[in-house]
Amino acid sequence: MPYKTIYLDEIDSTNNYAKTLSGAENTVIIAKRQTSGRGRVGKSFFSPEGGIYMSVILKGGNQPFCAGSYTALTAVAVADAIKRVCDIDCGIKWVNDIYIKNKKVCGILTEAVFDGNKLKNIIIGIGINVSDFLPNDELEEIATSIERESNRKIDNKQLINEILKKLYLELQNFDSSTFFEDYKKLSIVLGKEITVLDPKGFYKATAIRIEKDFSLTVLKDGVEKNINFGEISIKA
Ligand code: BTN
């Protein structure tokens, strides 16, 4: 294991816990369940036992920080690990969700910890629905689990190890890595009619390009627009 590992039975959120570990680096926090798992844009992440909830803590350094590229690199690593360990194909829904057959199985939340102006740590939170535990129709509609889709029992430890191995390797070649091409190949939004969930108002558009900074360019009424934050829905 390339990372120092801290195992917890229960925590509010592994990302929150990671933020309290001042000065930690190359460390991963893994919890059996979370009581207040968090997603992007203020959403919660349902985290009962049986899933994988973990946060990788990296040293910040002086490089400009682009959360989107860490999220994208992680999405590629997770999709690759799921394919290897569970023999199932995943796609990436811009920017941080992993899908199997049009339903979400994994979300990624990258956060930065600053000390004044200095980027102290980068925290990459990964949540994966492994066992079949979806509690209500609302989640049934949008989410699925690896065990449901692959019809087999998954060894969480094996999957975690594979993800961390791949993530570590990708992070070693962060600048020259091929993950941008891999990310585009795995994208399930390119060429699709989507709805952009802009806080100022939803609108329909076509996803046409993922940029080097992992922002998404869409075509709306013949005009290109670049989105680098927020949510999209594939149901146009
Ligand atoms: C999303 O779906 O928008 C992202 C979900 C990220 C969930 C993971 S689970 C481990 C880590 N701890 C959290 O509170 N969130 C992330």
The model's confidence at residue 230, banded by pLDDT at 50, 70 and 90, is confident
pLDDT of res. 176: 56
Ligand 1 pocket by Cβ (under 6 Å): 13-15, 34, 37-40, 43, 45, 53-55, 96, 107-109, 125-127
Q: Look at the block and give the residue holding tokens 């102290």.
A: 120
The better pLDDT of the pair 114, 30 is held by 30
Q: Is the pLDDT of residue 55 over 60?
A: yes
Rounded to an integer, the average pLDDT of 204-221 is 94
Q: How far apart are the two ends of the chain, measured CA to CA in Å?
A: 42
Closest residue by CA, ligand 1 atom 15: 38
The answer to whether 168 and 3 have CB atoms below 8 angstroms apart is yes
The 10s digit of each residue's pLDDT in 57-80 is: 999 876 677 888 899 999 999 999
Pocket test residue of 20, 28, 38 for ligand 1, highest count of atoms within 8 A of CB: 38
* Per-residue tokens: 145: 């689990």
Nearest to 156 by CA among 75, 81, 71, 79: 81
- Does the pLDDT value for residue 1 go beyond 80? no
Residue whose Cα lies nearest atom 9 of ligand 1: it is 127
pLDDT at 92: 97
Q: What are 86-145's pLDDT values in tens digits? A: 999 999 999 899 999 989 999 999 999 988 888 999 999 999 999 987 777 878 888 999
Q: Give distance in angstroms: CA of 55 to centre of ligand 1.
A: 8
From the CA of 220, how far away is ligand 1's center (Å)?
30
In this prediction the pTM is 0.94
Nearest atom (ligand 1) to Cα of 13: 14
pLDDT of 236? 52
Residue 224 Cα to ligand 1 midpoint, Å, equals: 31
**Strand arrangement, sheet containing 203-210:** 223-227, 216-220, 203-210, 193-197, 231-233
Tell me the mean pLDDT in the region 40-61. Answer: 92
Residue 178 has pLDDT above 70, yes or no: yes
Which residue type occupies 74? T
Average pLDDT of the chain to the nearest whole number: 92
Question: With 80 as the cut, is the pLDDT of residue 197 above it?
Answer: yes
> 191 in helix, strand or coil?
coil
pLDDT computed for residue 65 by the predictor: 77
Would the pLDDT of 215 be above 60?
A: yes
State the average pLDDT over residues 153-159: 97
| Distance, CA of 183 to CA of 31 (rounded, Å) | 27
Sign of CA dihedral 134, 139, 141, 147: negative
**What is the DSSP track for 13-66?**
-HHHHHHHSTT--SEEEEEEEESS-B-GGG-B----BTBEEEEEEEE--SSPP-
Radius of gyration of the chain (CA): 17
Question: Which of these, 177, 150, 1, 128, lies nearest to 84 by C-alpha position?
Answer: 150
Give the residue, 228 or 177, on which the prediction is more confident: 228
Q: How far is the CA of 54 from the centre of ligand 1 (A)?
A: 8
Q: What is the pLDDT of residue 62?
A: 67
Burial 204-228 (b: 16+ CB within 10 A, else e): ebebeebeeebbbbbeeeeeeeebe
Q: At residue 186, does pLDDT exceed 80?
A: yes
Rounded mean pLDDT, 211-225: 94
Task: Give the distance (Å) from ligand 1 centre to CA of residue 111.
Answer: 10
